[in-house]
Structure 1
Amino acid sequence: MTTPMPGTRPQLRRARMDLLGIYLNDHLAGSTVGAGRAQFMARSHRDPPYAEPLRHLAAEIAEDRQALLRIMRSLGVPQRRYKVAASGAAERLGRLKSNGRLFRRSPLTLVVELEFLRLGVKGKELGWRTLRALAEADGRLDEQELDGLTARAERQTSTLEELRVTAVRDVLLTD
């Protein structure tokens, strides 16, 4: 790739829709897992300081998934339902993992779930940043919307990190 000369405008390139479609469907699969896990966590953790932030995060993550679907529609990217179905099933199966306890949740589960969700939100943020980088070449992408989604993902990452550190202290430290 060549760098444009100073003072010249770079030539606009078009997105490879075949690859972008795969990329967005992979993010949709990830958002399906993240939204499902966030909803499950919001229902499972009623204790302060986790309950309210988890409910708020779950609602926002569900909204972000809807935003991704809207963006895919605006770009004419079809939803690959098999990826969505497989990722949803994988998320539900993931709840059955061994945690050292037979009939109840391990206290460590909260730490692991928060780490998992934080990784997912960071991936979502990178997806928004990727779309933002393409927005200059594709007028169907709303730069302001993508900036807002990126900022929200950054806030979600910060909230999840605060919750994770609290959980680590609650779970792994003794009196």
Structure 2
Amino acid sequence: MGSDRLLHIYLNDHFAAAVAGRELAARCRSSNRGGDLGTFLLRFEAEVVEDRATLQAIMERVGARRDPVKQGLAWVVEKIARLKLNGRITGYSDLSRLEEIEGLCLGVEGKLSLWRSLGSVARMDARLSEFPFDRLERRATAQREALEAFRLEATARAFGA
């Protein structure tokens, strides 16, 4: 297929984002143990790992090699994001929770776009026909809806809204 190079770049960009997303999910989960959010994040993190494995299988199917530079940069960016001000010199604040959940929301939106785009490509590229893009899209939609409820709760906690 003539656009394989572009597809490989696209997949690598999303794989790098998945690396950062996994790190963010783990950090958010470790700061929110117990309760509904912590329980959700435990399952969510496992699903993120599954989605990343699916993306890796897709990359292998189309011959895309993982770009270690992009992966490394994504990991570093996620770590640097921890240094941002959150109203406290050290520790975790209600604003930290809100911004982490918003980051997860953005990541899931990107993943939802990925599955939709690949589902469209699969109609033209038989190499992708075995992947369950409809199911992956439904799961990402459910994740986004759940995260939105937690985001609204975190907003109320952070700002007393």
TM-score, scaled to structure 1: 0.87
Counterpart among 42, 47, 51 of residue 38 in structure 2: 51
1:15 Cα offset (Å): 5.6
Matched, 1:92 2:104: no
In structure 2, the partner of 1:138 is 125
- Structure 1 runs of 4+ with >3 Å offset: none
**How big is the shift at 1:170?**
2.5
Is 1:171 the equivalent of 2:153?
no
Aligned equivalents of 1:82, 1:141: Cα separation in 2:
26
Q: Which residue is equivalent to 1:103? A: 90
CA separation in 2, counterparts of 1:65 and 1:134?
A: 19
- Could you tell me whether the CA contact under 8 Å between 1:15 and 1:134 is conserved in 2? no
Work out the CA distance in 1 between the residues paired with 2:32 and 2:102: 15
Distance 2:14 2:2 in 1: 17
In the alignment, what sits opposite 1:148? 135
* Corresponding residue for residue 5 of structure 1: none
CA RMSD of aligned residues (A): 1.4
The partner residue of 2:29 within 27, 31, 42 is 42
- Aligned residue-pair number: 161
User: What percent of counterpart residues are identical?
Assistant: 36
TM-score (norm 2): 0.94
Q: Deviations over 1:67-109 (max 9, x none)?
A: 1011100111111111001111111121121212112222111
> Cα distance, 1:139 vs. partner?
1.1
**What is the distance in 2 between the residues matched to 1:37 and 1:90?**
11
Q: What 5-or-longer segments of structure 1 have no aligned partner?
A: 1-13
What pairs up with 1:58-97 in 2 under 5 angstroms? Answer: 58-97=45-84
> Structure 1 or 2: larger helix share?
2
- Aligned match of 2:5 in 9, 18, 22? 18
Q: Distance in 2 between matches of 1:125 and 1:159?
A: 14
Structure index of larger Rg: 1
Taking a change above 3 Å as real, the CA distance of residues 144 and 86 of structure 1, as seen in their structure-2 partners, is: closer
Question: Which of 141, 148, 159 is the aligned partner of 2:146?
Answer: 159
Name stretches of at least 5 consecutive residues in structure 2 with no aligned partner: none
- Deviation of 1:142 after TM superposition, in Å, equals 3.0
Give the match for residue 33 of structure 1.
20
The Cα shift of 1:144 comes to: 5.4
Give, in whole Å, the separation in 2 of the partners of 1:74 and 1:160. Answer: 31
Task: Tell me the distance in 2 between the aligned counterparts of 1:130 and 1:66.
Answer: 18
8 Å CA contact 2:94–2:157 kept in 1: the answer is no
